[in-house]
Amino acid sequence: MNETVTLALPSKGAISEPTLSFLRDCGLRVEKPNPRQYTGAVPAVPRLDVLFQRVIDILYKVADGTAQLGITGLDVVHEYPHDDVMVIHENLGYGECKLLVAVPESWIDVGNMADFADVALDFREYQRRNIRIATTYPHMTRKFLHAQGIHHFTIVNAEGAIEAAPTIGYADAVVDLTQTGTTLRENHLKPIGDGVILESQACLIGNRTALREHGAALEAVRTMLEYVDASLQGKNYSQVTVNMRAANIDDIARRLAANPITRGLQGPTIAPIYGVNNGTGDQWFTITLILSNKSLLQGINVLREHGATDVVVAPVRYLFLDRSPTFERLCLALGGEQS
């Protein structure tokens, strides 16, 4: 029985380098012996081979089981849905972009999708043709427009330079991915506010059958998710160490635990500092806390109010919970038989 598991990664395109960086940050460094080869390995996960492919081919490779796991764009997964492909982790936190409807800036009468629907009727009524929409996402575009009550349109399938289609003249509007909107603006296009079809980012996908039946695939994904979850969780927190003077440990613990911001994950770790005595009878302690980045400064101020000084803040590289929540969800999705 072949116990090797294959992870397909983007060989080029917008999420290629960010994927390698992301995995490296998670502790899953990818080794690629030869830059011209399409294979590699992840030393942190035993028997995990890497296959470099285009983002669209990653989906196909995972769908047909050639690769059991893959990292690609959520937009690709939604555009080409496949029964045997499941999204294991849908927000890896990079490659963020939006798939949206954009129209020429000169269409000053169009500010929302209701306007767009009305213009589509104008094309039928005055030009005796459908409004033409250039996109590489025909499936999602059709679904979205129908859901908006827009039924008379023609999809112009195009590859690359979609934004230029209205200027060149082979389409009237576009549905395209955008990160900052700069390319749209440079081509005199504007996004429609309520025309966002999908908010996409990089995601981890897997072959459902392989994950159910191939124990090594599930084991590999468990290892990956442990690192990925811990790394993503860690980005949300900082480790804060302060010195504080108090009568005793209980006094500090009571004061800090009373405030949700300074309670940390479970509670503060407090250790006495030996050799310091200011003659008041109070003792110095070192307190270590894990604080949410969202309320970091607020937390530090609370600590200061309690007399804290010498505040040291360090990033949390990993935060491992009792188990990987994503892996737990995966097991539930697979029917619970592997939990």
Partner 1 sequence: MTNSSTRDRNAQSVRSLSTRLRSHMALYGYLPADAPMLERAELFLSRAGDQILHRLFTFERYGIQLALRPEFTTPALHRYMQAADQGHVARWQFSGTIFEDDPASNRIDYERLSIGAELIGLGTDAEARLGADAEIIAMATHGARAAGVDSVRVVIGDVQLTRKLIASFELDPRTQNFLLRHVYALGDPALGKNYVLDQYDAFLIADGTLVNASDAVNPAANSQIQDILNSLLDATERGMTMGGRSQEDISRRLLRKYRYAAQRDQIVHVLDVLAEWIQMGGPYSQALAAIRSFTPLIERGSDQIKAMAALVDTLECYDVDAQAIEIQPGLIRDWDYYTGIVFELYAGAARHIAGGGRYDELARLIGSDREIPAVGFVYYVDALQRAISGVGDEGVRVFTLCSAQINTAEAVRWAQTLREREVAVRLLPSAAVACDLTLTPGGALRYDGTDYAPEQADMLAAALKRVSQ
Binding positions for partner 1, rule: CB under 8 A: 103-112, 114-115, 117-119, 121-123, 126-127, 131-132, 138, 143, 146-147, 149, 151-152, 166-167, 169, 171-173, 187-189
Is the backbone of residue 319 left (phi > 0), alpha (psi -120 to 50) or beta? Answer: beta
Q: How far is the CB of 80 from partner 1 (least distance, A)?
A: 14
In whole angstroms, give the CA distance from residue 137 to residue 97. 14
- Provide the minimum distance between the beta carbon of 336 and partner 1 in the complex, in angstroms, as a whole number: 21
CB of 209 to partner 1, least distance (A): 20
Helix (H) or strand (E) holding 219: helix 215-234
Residue 335 CB, nearest approach to partner 1 (Å): 18
Of 113 and 228, nearer to partner 1 (C-beta) is 113
Residue nearer to partner 1 on the CB measure, 161 or 297:
161
User: How many helices and strands, by DSSP H and E, does the chain display?
Assistant: 12, 15
Tokens coding 203: 């995601």
**Strands 283-292 and 269-272, how do they pair?**
antiparallel
Least distance CB 164 / partner 1 (angstroms): 9
143 C-beta neighbours (distance < 10 Å), count: 14
CA nearest to 329, candidates 317, 314, 315, 339: 339
Query: Which CB sits closer to partner 1, 43 or 149?
Result: 149
Complex with partner 1: residue 133 or 308, whichever CB lies closer? 133
Residue 119 or 334 having the CB closest to partner 1: 119
Q: Are 235 and 319 in contact (CB under 8 A)?
A: no
